[in-house]
A = this chain, B = another copy of it.
Amino acid sequence: MPVKKRAMTIQDVAKAAGVSVSTVSRVLNGKVDVARDTQERILEVIAKLGYTSNLAARSMRSHRKNLIGLVVPDIMPYSIEILKGVNRAIAESKFDLLVYTTGDAQKNGAVLHEQHYVSLLSNSVTDGVIIVASATAEFIADAPIVAIDPHVINPNYPSVQGMNYHGALEVMEYLFGLGHRRIGFVKGREGNVSAQRRFQGYKDALEKAGIALDETIIIHGDFTQKTTYKNAHSLLASDNRPTAIFAANDQSAIGVYQAAEELGINVPNDLSVVGFDNISEAKYLGLTTVDQFLSEMGYIAVQMLIKFINDEPLDLEIHKMQTKLVVRTSCQRLLQPA
């Protein structure tokens, strides 16, 4: 059976210490204008009673809570990667972290509720909130907001974004450098900004290299392994097969890998496969992945948010991180076309 004692209030402490609630409150908040012995007595009582102040009540009256909120759609590989970076920054700061999730983006009729969760935290309990992969454009909030990898970009609040476009250019250049000319692409989820950026990078790289876009070597996908696996078969089985395939994310890359394997096509000997993102087992399959440093994004977002909370200007270092660290390509595993 769970413990269900009634929680103590500041009143209980006051009574036990024989003082008024306001005096206890002063001690609690480290105010200096309390007599030494009163202070000690109160602290003793607090310790003995195991009293902890009520977050809700406290948040309601005072402004600074030393708490940062993070709203994520779920705890899946993508969010987890970001969480790791956020955690690191939190550990280094004097803020604690409150992660809010419904466990499933779809649970309560989706996107509509993002605003809800943000205000839930920001208006009450936290000093600021970070929101991951949001599709909402505008937020009403008491406290500062930083968005990570938002699906739609709004100039009204700051965000940390993956370098999708430039990452894609880099990958293509690397493939060109290896001698590939016929490079297929697996598209990401329809309407997703990151996916669009990656595709744009692919197309622009082709154009710059003077290679015509060949629609027949473009595979439709939705960031899932399964869809790509299904959609990749016919292209891989045909004579039309490209020498390399660039997938919009690592899951898609795995899908290609599985389809290839089933058809007896060896990766990477017969076919080079690169995938964006680096959060799945793709790397263990010998696939090349483009690391977007999701966790860096989380780390940076916290730093930015803390600056905002403290009303400090964003310094150069953070800007640099923002633009430099977020993408790094690691293509060691790719081979030249057969």
Which residues on B sit within 8 Å (CB–CB) of A57?
56, 60, 124
A96→B90 contact, CB < 8 A: no
A52→B98 contact, CB < 8 A: no
Judged by a CB distance under 8 angstroms, whether A332 is at the interface is: no
Given A97-B100, A100-B97, A5 and B140 contact (CB-CB distance below 8 Å)? yes
B91→A96 contact, CB < 8 A: no
A4→B142 contact, CB < 8 A: yes
Q: How many copies does the complex hold?
A: 2
A103→B97 contact, CB < 8 A: yes
Given A96-B101, A96-B103, A7 and B142 contact (CB-CB distance below 8 Å)? yes
B7→A123 contact, CB < 8 A: yes
CB < 8 Å neighbour of A140 from B3, B86, B120: B3
B97→A98 contact, CB < 8 A: no
A83→B75 contact, CB < 8 A: yes
A7→B141 contact, CB < 8 A: yes
Given A7-B123, A59-B56, A99 and B96 contact (CB-CB distance below 8 Å)? no
Task: Tally A residues with Cβ within 8 Å of B.
Answer: 66
Judged by a CB distance under 8 angstroms, whether A337 is at the interface is: no
Judged by a CB distance under 8 angstroms, whether A22 is at the interface is: no
B87→A96 contact, CB < 8 A: no
What is the CA–CA distance of A75 and B87 in the complex, to the nearest angstrom?
6
Which residues on B sit within 8 Å (CB–CB) of A2?
128, 141, 143-146, 157-158, 308
Judged by a CB distance under 8 angstroms, whether A104 is at the interface is: yes
Judged by a CB distance under 8 angstroms, whether A74 is at the interface is: yes
CB < 8 Å neighbour of A124 from B54, B74, B80, B156: B54
Judged by a CB distance under 8 angstroms, whether A102 is at the interface is: yes
Judged by a CB distance under 8 angstroms, whether A50 is at the interface is: yes
CB < 8 Å neighbour of A60 from B60, B87, B121, B145: B60
Judged by a CB distance under 8 angstroms, whether A6 is at the interface is: yes
Convert A79-113 into 0s and 1s, putting 1 for each residue whose CB lies closer than 8 angstroms to a CB of B: 01001101111111100111111111001000000
Convert A132-145 into 0s and 1s, putting 1 for each residue whose CB lies closer than 8 angstroms to a CB of B: 00000011111111
Can you show 25 pairs from A to B with CB atoms below 8 A apart?
Answer: A2-B141, A2-B146, A2-B158, A3-B138, A3-B141, A3-B145, A7-B119, A7-B123, A7-B141, A52-B120, A52-B123, A53-B120, A54-B60, A55-B123, A56-B57, A56-B59, A56-B60, A57-B60, A74-B87, A87-B101, A90-B104, A91-B103, A96-B103, A97-B102, A98-B99
Q: Interface on A for B, CB 8 Å cutoff?
A: 1-8, 50, 52-57, 59-60, 74-76, 80, 83-84, 86-93, 96-104, 107, 115-116, 119-125, 128, 138-146, 156-158, 281, 284, 308
Q: In the complex, given contacts A2-B145, A75-B87, A125-B125, what are 16 additional A-B residue pairs having Cβ atoms less than 8 angstroms apart?
A: A1-B157, A1-B158, A3-B140, A3-B141, A3-B145, A3-B156, A4-B142, A7-B140, A52-B120, A54-B124, A56-B60, A56-B124, A56-B125, A74-B87, A97-B100, A97-B102
